[in-house]
Amino acid sequence: SLCEMLFRQAESLQPSLSEPLPEARFSSRKRTAINKEQIFHLLERAAGTTEYPPPSLLEVGQRFGYQPTTLYKINQTACHAIAERFTAYRRGLREKRLEGYHEEIRQIALYLQAEQVALTQRHIGRYLAQPAILRDPHVRTILREVCHEIKERN
């Protein structure tokens, strides 16, 4: 056959997985009737919790054993509240991180100005703990604002 002629070992053409399959996020379960009322109340409770950090809807779904799409079908309002709280939490983390970058860039810029080195992205990037943060457009905007602020002070 063509396979034998090209590969000489036909069994090498059999597909096989080199690594085992990753574990599924949601355990498979038998299709049973969903107690929608119970899930509705569980979602209400999860939406009103003061847990910190707030769980994502995916995490809530994993706790209850249901996928987020199923949860949305049962109680859309609570799901939106859970998702919004998690989004606000993530937004707050990002703002704190950007504030930290602002302060780091400001300190470096003041040092470079004292050393009479031009305040450029390249010069400031050399002193950053994580120079790759300059790829973020928000961080580059912070860099420009800090440089402009320092230049105007003099």
Q: Rounded CA gap, 130 and 22, in Å?
A: 32
Give pLDDT tens digits for 91-117.
Answer: 999 999 999 999 999 999 999 999 998
* Nearest Cα to Cα of residue 50 among 102, 18, 89, 105: 89
At 113, list the tokens: 């100005």
At 65, list the tokens: 């054993």
User: For residue 42, is pLDDT > 80?
Assistant: yes
Phi-psi region of 17 (alpha: psi -120 to 50; beta: other; left: phi over 0): beta
User: For residue 47, is pLDDT > 70?
Assistant: yes
Give pLDDT tens digits for 6-37.
Answer: 666 555 555 555 666 677 766 666 667 788 88
Cα angle for residues 51, 55, 59 (degrees, 5° grid): 135
